[in-house]
Structures are given as structure tokens and as C-alpha cells.
Amino acid sequence: MFVILVYDVNVKRTAKVLKTVRPYLSHLQRSVFEGELTEKELEELKSELEDLIKPSEDTVLIYTFDSLRYSHRHRIGRQLEDRDII
């Protein structure tokens, strides 16, 4: 399935969340990731994030798509360079 993940977490946990998500998904913007995952990979990622974040302070949103048939991505503005990523 195709996944889009976005997060808004306390600065104390930003680097840890980034390191957790990077092996699973491609980093698009500062707190935005996308990519293909299996159900098992998605469950693993969710479990790792649940252990890492503080629900009273942090938010992680995961959008899943069974098909990309009717979806398109349009970028307006510059693409984030690797050197811009923490």
C-alpha cells in the first residue's frame, strides 16, 4: 500500500522520529514522508512510533492508499535538498 506520513512532535523527539521513519519511507519535506509499505511494515512502524512519541504532546498522521489510480502529487515550490534535512 502507498503511505503518506506526517508528524508534529516535540523538538526533543524530532531526531528520533526522523531516524525511526527513514528506513521505511522516503523523506519529502521536513516532517513529510511517503512510500510503499506492506501491512507488516506499517504495523512495525506504527508500533515503533507509539513507543517513541508522547501522545499528550505529539501527533503522527498516517494516510494509507490501497490504490494510486486516482491520485496525483503536485509540488509548488522547491524540492527539499538532502542538505536541508536535519
Residue numbers in the known binding site for Mg(2+) are: 8
Residues annotated in a binding site: 8
Angle at 54 between CA 46 and CA 42, to 5 degrees: 5
